[in-house]
Amino acid sequence: MTAPVRLAQRVAGLFNLSRAEAEQFIRNGWVSVDGQVVEAPQHKVTVERVELDPGARLEAVEPATILLHKPPGFDAITGPRPASALVAPVSRWADDPSGVRLLRRHFHRLTPLVPLETEASGLMVLTQDGRVWRRLSEDADQIEHEYIVEIRGGIAPYGLHRLCHGLTYDGRVLAPCKVSWQNETRLRFAIKGVREGQLHGMCEQVGLEVVSIRRLRIGKVALGKGPDGAMPPGAWRYLPVGERF
């Protein structure tokens, strides 16, 4: 009877690789056992058929960052209805331009970042990458976000000017931001350091009621557009390697 061995050991022997190279190929999803991709180098094999994808490339094992279009009603960070539950292989955006190969390990230990109110929709970030976590946590107040806010009601005199500069919220003077009309019922905000409830509060101060909020962009990273339009609610895409917030 053949004694079980680690998959990495078998791959190294079959394809004349170092153990480290074998583990990299396995973690990046290039190795199959009896036709099924296995991403765990410690997986035990005996007489199974082990194959290395002919197109395999020896690449660094990169942590994943996922960009989700959160629908209204889901909790971004904490809550009983987590948006992270929407991130699954079947919900990947068909027009994802990242070129990143989907791997099972990409769905493990994803940390949701950058708060977004439960009833709001739009771009949210989930990551395995400590560099992304540091950027979006430590530099949060320096990163501009873009929102589309649907409103109703009549804006007060000089209301648009006041939205851009001159309001307070929750006891603090708000920094200048950029606000413009997208159409008769929608305002576009380009703003930094937004707190929960702030966009509602700002609009109320100039006579407007918020109907809905959608985040389009965080820093340099937007929801994304494809041949059939913007990434739809509930879908996600990868942050391409090298793209920064």
Q: Is the pLDDT of residue 41 over 90?
A: yes
71 and 136 together in one domain = yes
**pLDDT tens by residue, 211-224:** 999 999 999 999 99
- Do 211 and 230 share a domain, yes or no? no
Q: How confident is the model at residue 1 (pLDDT cuts 50, 70, 90)?
A: low
- 148 and 172 together in one domain: yes
Task: Walk across the sheet containing 36-37 and list its strands.
Answer: 36-37, 31-33, 50-52
Residue 132 and residue 231 in one domain: yes
Residue 25 and residue 70 share a domain = no
CATH number at residue 85: 3.30.70.580
Average pLDDT over residues 180-194: 96
User: What is the C-alpha to C-alpha distance for residues 49 and 233, in angstroms, rounded to an integer?
Assistant: 41
Residues 116 and 152 in one domain: no
> What 3-state DSSP class applies to 82?
strand
In a domain, 126, yes or no: yes
Q: Is residue 60 part of a domain?
A: no
Residues 126 and 73 in one domain: yes
Domain count, the chain: 3
The alpha-helical segments, DSSP class H, found in 86-224 are 130-138, 159-164, 198-205
Pairing of strands 209-218, 221-222: antiparallel
CATH of the domain at 176: 3.30.70.1560
Q: Residue range 236-245: average pLDDT?
A: 93
Cα→Cα distances 109→66, 106, 126, 185, Å: 12, 8, 9, 40
Tell me the pLDDT band of 61, cut-offs 50, 70 and 90. Answer: confident
Answer yes or no: is pLDDT of 2 > 80: no
Q: Is residue 59 assigned to a domain?
A: no
Whether residues 38 and 94 share a domain: the answer is no
Structural domain harbouring 24: 5-52
